[in-house]
Amino acid sequence: MSTGFARVAVLGLGLIGGSILQTVRHAGIAGVGYDVDVAALEAASSDGFAVAPSTAAAARGADLIVLAMPLPAVRDAAAALRGHLSPGAIVTDVGTLKQPVVDAVRAELPGVSFVGGHPLAGVEDTGWPAARPAMFRDASWSLVLEADTDLDDWLRLASFVCDIGARPVPTTAADQDAAVARVIGLPHVLAEALALTGLAGGPLGLTLAAGSYMSGSRVARTRPELVTTWCDGNPALPTALDDAISYLVEARDALRSGGSVLSLADAGHAARINWEHRQVEPVELRADAAALVAHGRCGGWITAVLQEPDGVRLLGMRPV
Amino acid sequence: MSTGFARVAVLGLGLIGGSILQTVRHAGIAGVGYDVDVAALEAASSDGFAVAPSTAAAARGADLIVLAMPLPAVRDAAAALRGHLSPGAIVTDVGTLKQPVVDAVRAELPGVSFVGGHPLAGVEDTGWPAARPAMFRDASWSLVLEADTDLDDWLRLASFVCDIGARPVPTTAADQDAAVARVIGLPHVLAEALALTGLAGGPLGLTLAAGSYMSGSRVARTRPELVTTWCDGNPALPTALDDAISYLVEARDALRSGGSVLSLADAGHAARINWEHRQVEPVELRADAAALVAHGRCGGWITAVLQEPDGVRLLGMRPV
């Protein structure tokens, strides 16, 4: 099993794809970019990055192909790769939701080695101009291990993610999408609701809106069509919304009957502070799919994939 | 009518009170501080600020007294001022909710000139160490104009707020509390609910939590007992929660039936972006209570209170 990748093709040069192309060069790996948007392609090229004229041309000779286009374009991009992948090439992606991508790639590229990924990084700004090579430093990066995922390929990709300074989190598509419902989908829906409820209060409220409104509605700045790709079709999001709604209903009913939000505020404060101060400890792991997925489910991540005479050894961190 | 204050007493030297005492000195006005907490008093004193040994001593000779203690302590502080106010002294406060303070001061200090205030500034950090003189620069500052508010006193306080770099917003206690329900109470309740719903998803989610979770739950870092003083007893907050809940229920139902959050995201995005890019225009105002409250209700604020031969002239800004 060879670990490093010799040539990485990044398809889609927006914030995430652009940052990956820049990160790859920073790590000393050959990279080539492609985007259906000629402006993005020209911007990357004029910044000195190698670009290709088509999906097929970008994939030529690449041993890692990163699907970094918006979710609705993934299926067509996968189809465009058919017949153009080098032997042994691995395909990955960067989408927020993993199940739709796993399904699309299985349908369009049967038999191809695919390891779904999701770097937990980003800002509200978008496009190549916002991309930067340090985007993924210390960021969690979901790496999907399904029953049909080749473990050696998964380990190669985990090693690559470590090499670019991020933290591979082993997970299944279902586990990751359920988690993302609560920490990406939900905060976006809440931010939209806050922005609208604030607006409905009229101009005095908008003048008095300050820090808490500003941070609470910050991600409502995200382009709506991106928000939909992070929310729509995630079966875990309605359940997360149920939970949040029940907290809000409880608070509303308490207030309406002359009660207090104290118990909610106490619990929410503890949850936030404990999250910030979460302690982790180092751990050694076997290169075993079930053990890795269990590690991710416990909040753990990988810090190194070591090739040793008697096999692969993984180092990681997990919450205490 | 004299405009400037000669001596400002600040009762309560936490984040807001401490910042007012520092701002007052910065503006060249004599100030004296008092806090029931000896540690805060010593910290202010060792930083070179004049402090008094009691509420009554602080009020002696002061023509502006600022109640800057937590809401539950306001009534006792007002009672402690009885008989110790100089003739013509004005009392103000800085609490998030105005109706409870108006009620407490009316009960404890009948006949005393009171103008409720609320600077829209602050951070999650608390106490004298977090206080800073630039805290209120360009901050909105609600100034309550009730039927029994002396307009000349209100104008003096508005002039003072302008002098320290903030933006007086004329409003009634009911108007301001209704606005605050949507832009302070609601974002705090949503942040608590987000923190808890994220936690309930287990450790994988907490590992994947990144930017949107971090900003969405930021104000859950606020001390719970402060959150309760901003939420409990505000009759407008349950209504604001009703509105937010209905957006969330709509989004949940859409998702559960295979639909999209697009319409919510479109509307929320527009609300947030329009808030950021709100255009304002200069306006001249009469020194008339009804006109001023109407100006505040339209989102306007005061930029200057000018003493002219034929009376008071106010300059302000209002949304276009």
Q: Which of residues 177-196 of B touch A (CB under 8 A)?
A: 178-184, 186-196
Give the separation between CA B253 and CA B259, rounded to whole angstroms.
8
Of A256, A265, A301, the CB nearest to B192: A265
**DSSP per residue, B121-140:** ---S--SGGG--TTTTTT-E
CA-based radius of gyration for chain A: 21
pLDDT band at A94 (very low <50, low <70, confident <90, very high): very high
Q: Which of residues 110-139 of A touch B (CB under 8 A)?
A: 120-123, 139
Give me the CATH topology for the region A177-253: 6-phosphogluconate dehydrogenase C-terminal fold (1.10.3660)
Tens of pLDDT, residue by residue over A290-301, are: 999 999 999 999
Give the separation between CA A27 and CA B113, rounded to whole angstroms.
68
Per domain, the residue ranges of chain A are 7-136, 177-253
Residue that the structure tokens 């009691």 belong to:
B54
Q: Tokens for A108, please give them.
A: 């369009």
Total beta-carbon pairs less than 8 A apart between chain A and chain B: 393
Please tell me the distance in Å from A230's CA to the nearest CA on chain B.
Answer: 10
Give the separation between CA B224 and CA B234, rounded to whole angstroms.
16
Q: What amino acid occupies position B257? A: S
Give me the CATH topology for the region B177-276: 6-phosphogluconate dehydrogenase C-terminal fold (1.10.3660)
Please tell me the distance in Å from B55's CA to the nearest CA on chain A.
Answer: 29
Instruction: Tell me whether A94 touches chain B (CB under 8 Å).
Output: no
Which pTM was predicted? 0.93
What is the CATH architecture of A7-136?
3-Layer(aba) Sandwich (3.40)
Give me the CATH topology for the region B7-171: Rossmann fold (3.40.50)
Of A219, A252, A271, the CB nearest to B216: A219
User: ipTM score here?
Assistant: 0.93
Of A209, A223, A243, the CB nearest to B200: A243
Backbone dihedral angles phi then psi of residue B162, each to the nearest 5 degrees: -60, -40
Least confident of A119-128, A242-251, B168-177: A119-128
Residue count of chain B, please give it: 320
Query: Is A53 within 8 Å of A26 (Cβ atoms)?
Result: no
Q: Which of residues 4-63 of B touch A (CB under 8 A)?
A: none
Q: What amino acid occupies position B187? A: P
Tens of pLDDT, residue by residue over A155-191, are: 999 999 999 999 999 999 999 999 999 999 999 999 9
Tens of pLDDT, residue by residue over B100-140, are: 999 999 999 999 999 999 999 877 678 899 999 999 999 99
Please tell me the distance in Å from A281's CA to the nearest CA on chain B.
Answer: 14
Q: For residue A91, what are the contacts with CB-CB under 8 A and spacing of at least 6?
A: A65, A67, A78, A81, A85, A105, A109, A112, A113, A114, A115
B220 with A269: Cβ contact below 8 A = yes
Give the separation between CA B120 and CA B98, rounded to whole angstroms.
13
A206 with B183: Cβ contact below 8 A = yes
The pLDDT mean for chain B works out to 95
Give the separation between CA A200 and CA B274, rounded to whole angstroms.
13
User: DSSP assignment, residue A219?
Assistant: G
